[in-house]
Structure formats: structure tokens, C-alpha cells
Amino acid sequence: MPNVFLDVGRRTESSHILRKNRWKVGASLKKRGPWAVLLSSDLPAGSNRAPTTKFSVSVQFMSAELAFNRNADVDYGVAEEVAPGVRRVVANNPGPYTFLGTNTYIVGTDEVAIIDPGPANEAHLDAIARATRGQRVSHIFITHSHRDHCDGALPLQQRLGGEILAFGPTGTERGAIAPGLGDGFVDTAFKPDIPASDGDTIKGSGFALDVLHMPGHAPDHLCFALIGQRTVFTGDHVMGWNTTVIAPPEGSMADFLASLERLAERHDKVFFPGHGGRIETPRRVVRAYMTHRIWREHTILACIDEGVGSIPRIVARLYGGLDADLKVAAALSVLAHLEFLIARGLVATEGATEGLSAFYVRAASGSGAAASS
């Protein structure tokens, strides 16, 4: 099967304008992150709107550059070599949130680590067992404790051995499940044998992986960097088929953007995501992910300025042609953006209700930390 990869459009005049305006914000931008361009202190004096007209046009052009190649065929149950010492087995769990299925990676030769065993699907676990026959499984790495990534960990360990490694306690109440995504979306009882932390290095015979804590999609989300190969296994933090769903209270837009900024500062050559094909232009894709979120935030603010202040109406306005199965995810992503806007003092809720049922308005002038920063 040919490799399928995500690519982003080449530099255009509009993308040049965007970057030019981003960095015009000042030397403090790098410290504050790319989302500082939407703080009120960055707006023209007396303005109650988000970006300038010139900026908004460039953002709209850039949004179209985030293009995904979804033309792919998958041989379920087959271990495909995707890089020297790296094989991929795709689980047969296609769906609106998993694309063609969850990617399981086998890293190493004589001694191997398995990254994301996927769902507890017997056929998938059989395929992993066949692919690792004659090899010692030393570790089972989990990018995050969403069931499509971690449910196969214990049954696979019972078959093949290996210690289960995932992020340690998050300090976040994991019992609060994103509404509409099902009670089984997160394995709230999941506990690894080895709690990992950001900056840890895990070594086996023939492989070494750095642990990168990248919260946002989930508070316990990890990426794993293959040392010496400029290769990162990104889980659901950056995917090869779609933008990442940020679903509060499990997901945090502020954390997601900060994690993207960390990835943007790296110099990797390839990403292997949890869903979809390999990503061969990592830095460009990460920048496009960030730009997409700037653009999405701007469109949400534009809705609020026009009096379209409830999440159902915002989703109807911005995601009119979206498949019905993804409308819940769209609503939760809008909520994540609104939480981030509220935290920066740009948006407020009107009335006592919160979250998906609230009505959102522009924050009063001068209120909030962002307005005085």
C-alpha cells in the first residue's frame, strides 16, 4: 500500500501577509504564543473587534491551505513497514472520529515497543501478535487513555508481556466526560505500570524514545520522539486525516495550542499519527494547525458580533455541510474556543447557564486579564 500523507499548500501571498502580521505583534509574541494576536491589546485603539480586516482576509486564505489526503486503502491485520525499524498495523475500527482505524506502531527489531495497541479487538491483537512473533515486547506505550488507543493494552500484555507506559496522574478529574461522545470515550480507570513524565527517555534494545507531554486533546496525552530519527509518534495531537477534536472538559484549547507551539519549535522530519497516514511536512502542518485555530476563533468572534451567540447557532453557521455524526464534535470544539476566549477576557456568558447551553457575548470593554495586558 502506498504511503498516504498530509501536506499543506505552498507559501502564498496571503500566508506571507499572515506571518508578517503575526510577527509584527512584537518581540513578546514568542513568549506569549501565536494566539496573542487575538488579544485586545493587539487591536487598534478603541476597537472592539478581533483582527484587522487585512489580518482576517489572510487568515481566511490560510484556512484553505490545511488540506488532507484521505484517499487511502488499508490492509487490516497486515504489519506494514513505514520506516526502518517501524511497522504499522491498523485496527479495524473505522468511524467518524477514527477515520480508517487506530494506528498501532511496532518500534524496534529483536526487542520491540508497541505504541497504542488500539481497541480490544481480537483480530487486531492477533495481528500484533503475528507481527511480533519471535521478538520480545518490552514496552506497550499509550499516547492517551481514550479507549480507541488504550483498551487493547491489558489483553495484549497478557499475551505478549511488556510493561504498560503512559502519563502519570494528570491532576485533572477524568470522570467528567465530554457530553455527546459517550460514557466510554475515556477509560477513567486506566493506570499504567510505568507513569511517564515529560522529558523521560525510554530505551530498549534497538530503540530509544523521548517522552513529550502534549496535553490538549486529553490531559494525559503523550507524544513519543524516536531519538536520532527526527520522528515523532503524535497520537491524536496531530493527525493525518483531519484536525484534532478538542472536547471539554476532557480537552483544553489553551493546552492544545501551547503543545502545538512546542512541536513547532522542533525540527522533525516525519510524524506518525494515531489516525491517518504519515505526515511528511511536520513543521508546516503544525503551523497550519495553529493558523486553522486562529481562523476558527475569528469566525466564532464574527458570529458573536452578529448576535449569533449560542453554540448550536454558531455550529449551524460555521459547519453547515458537516456530517451529522460530527456535529457534536464541532459543538465541543466551539465550546473549547469559547472557554479560551473567556479566559482571555474577550467573551462572556449572558445569563446563568454555561457551556453548550449558554449565550455568549463580547466581554465588556476593559474587563478580563486580556483586556489589560
pLDDT tens, 71-130?
Answer: 667 899 999 999 999 999 999 999 888 889 999 999 998 899 999 999 999 999 999 999
- How far, in Å, are 119, 134, 287, 332 from residue 326 at the CA level? 21, 42, 24, 10
CA distance 236 to 240: 9
Per-residue confidence of the chain (373 residues) as pLDDT tens digits? 222 333 333 232 223 323 333 322 223 333 333 333 333 333 333 333 333 222 332 333 333 345 566 666 789 999 999 999 999 999 999 988 888 999 999 999 889 999 999 999 999 999 999 999 999 999 999 999 999 999 999 999 999 999 999 997 655 554 455 555 555 678 888 899 999 999 999 999 889 999 999 999 999 999 999 999 999 999 999 988 888 989 988 899 999 999 999 999 999 999 999 999 999 999 989 999 999 999 999 999 999 999 999 999 999 999 888 888 788 889 999 999 999 999 999 999 987 677 788 899 998 753 433 332 2
Mapped onto helix, strand or coil, the DSSP state of residue 328 is: helix
Q: What is the pLDDT of residue 16?
A: 31
- The answer, as to whether pTM is greater than 0.85, is no
- How far, in Å, are 354, 358, 370 from residue 350 at the CA level? 9, 7, 19
* CA nearest to 235, candidates 213, 254, 208, 250: 213
Domain residues of the chain, as ranges? 10-68+289-372, 80-276
* CA nearest to 313, candidates 337, 330, 296, 336: 330
CATH of the structural domain 80-276, one choice from 3.60.15.10, 3.30.420.10, 3.40.50.300, 3.90.1570.10: 3.60.15.10
> pLDDT, tens digit, for every residue of 134-176?
999 999 999 999 999 999 999 999 999 999 999 976 555 544 5
Q: Find out whether the peptide bond into 169 is cis, omega within 30 degrees of 0.
A: no
Q: Which three cell numbers stand for residue 318?
A: 460555521
